[in-house]
């Protein structure tokens, strides 16, 4: 019985996914637009084989050899689109601003393409332990119309190891307004990366941590006085000041 319900749910989800129109059909920055752009730039992928992991990755060789990584799943499959649309709304008032946006955990670059589409003049920085999946997928992203306003900057980054010093080097004076942590997703790496970025964020910022329902625990430690919301395995730290 459970298997039938699961199958039916999957079928209904696929139907809804197939019904998503092209981004032009929706208001820019709306939840539907975010889902449509994610789909346009490749959408949901699964079983992406790991080429490189952290020396401090706690998983066994056996665990690492099965399954694979999933990407392009934040807006529709995880259903984070409404929360992203809401939390980004203060910044959407000026999409032409020269913001700095950092995504940790980029896989094939679907997210990077989405951020650049949303904020064309932003410096979009992609950080990952392994940038090869992005590099291999770049021709496909370009074919699908990504990065018309310029390509993102890529940096090797290990969330277990790299801290404040590496972040300072990567940012080189820039102050991110948006940080998305979609990397390793453990409480240790969530705290490490938040600690590393904390001192370098813009005066107004939003910090997203995906796919760990307990992320609010380390994030409350790192950002004790900030507004933190946690829903549906997405934790958002917000600090906005009127210009
Ligand atoms: C869920 S995928 C990211 C999906 C991507 N954000 C998207 O929009 O499709 C997770 C990514 O985290 C990276 N990763 C895994 N361990 C990491 C670590 N220790 N430090 C940094 N990145 C890591 C993987 O290489 C992979 O690219």
Q: Is 183 in the pocket of ligand 1 (CB under 6 A)?
A: yes
| Sign of the alpha-carbon dihedral angle for 33, 37, 38, 39 | positive
Q: What is the pLDDT of residues 103-135, one digit of tens each?
A: 999 999 999 999 999 999 999 999 999 999 999
Q: What is the pLDDT of residues 128-175, one digit of tens each?
A: 999 999 999 999 999 999 999 999 999 999 999 999 999 999 999 999
User: Which atom of ligand 1 has the smallest separation from the CA of 210?
Assistant: 1
Phi, psi of 210 (to 5 degrees): -105, 155
CA gap 240, 243 in Å, rounded: 9
CA gap 61, 182 in Å, rounded: 22
What 3-state class would DSSP assign to 125? strand
pLDDT at 96: 98
Contact 110, 36 (CB under 8 A): no
Residue 243, pLDDT > 80, answer: no
Residue 241, pLDDT > 90, answer: no
CATH number (3.40.50.2000, 3.40.50.300, 3.40.50.150, 3.30.70.100) of 1-243 reads 3.40.50.150
CA gap 102, 93 in Å, rounded: 19
**Residue 90 CA, ligand 1 centroid: distance in Å:** 27
**Helix axis angle, 110-118 to 31-40, nearest 10°:** 130
For the entire predicted model, the pTM comes to 0.97
Q: What is the pLDDT of residues 182-201, one digit of tens each?
A: 999 999 999 999 999 999 99
Q: Which of 126, 134, 158, 183 to mutate to test the pocket of ligand 1 (most atoms within 8 A of CB)?
A: 183
Q: Parse the chain into domains and list their residue ranges.
A: 1-243
**Residue 222 CA, ligand 1 centroid: distance in Å:** 21
């Amino acid at each position: 019985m459970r298997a039938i319900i699961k199958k039916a749910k999957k079928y209904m989800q696929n139907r809804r996914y197939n019904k998503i129109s092209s981004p032009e059909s929706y208001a820019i920055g709306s939840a539907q637009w975010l889902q449509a752009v994610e789909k346009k730039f490749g959408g949901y992928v699964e079983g992406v084989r790991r080429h490189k992991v952290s020396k401090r990755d706690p998983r066994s060789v056996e665990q690492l050899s099965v399954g694979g990584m999933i990407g392009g799943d934040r807006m529709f499959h995880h259903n984070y689109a409404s929360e992203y649309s809401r939390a980004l709304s203060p910044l959407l008032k000026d999409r032409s601003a020269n913001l700095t946006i950092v995504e940790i955990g980029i896989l094939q670059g679907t997210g990077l393409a989405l951020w650049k589409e949303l904020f064309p003049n932003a410096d979009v920085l992609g950080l990952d332990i392994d940038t090869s999946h992005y590099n291999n997928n770049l021709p496909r992203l370009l074919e699908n119309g990504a990065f018309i306003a310029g390509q993102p900057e890529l940096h090797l980054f290990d969330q277990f190891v790299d801290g404040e010093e590496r972040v300072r080097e990567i940012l080189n004076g820039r102050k991110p307004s948006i940080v998305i942590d979609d990397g390793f997703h453990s409480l240790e790496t969530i705290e490490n990366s938040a600690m590393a970025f904390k001192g370098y964020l813009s005066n107004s910022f939003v910090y997203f941590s995906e796919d760990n329902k307990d992320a609010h625990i380390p994030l409350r430690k790192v950002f004790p006085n900030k507004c933190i919301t946690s829903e549906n395995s997405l934790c958002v730290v917000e600090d906005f000041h009127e210009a």
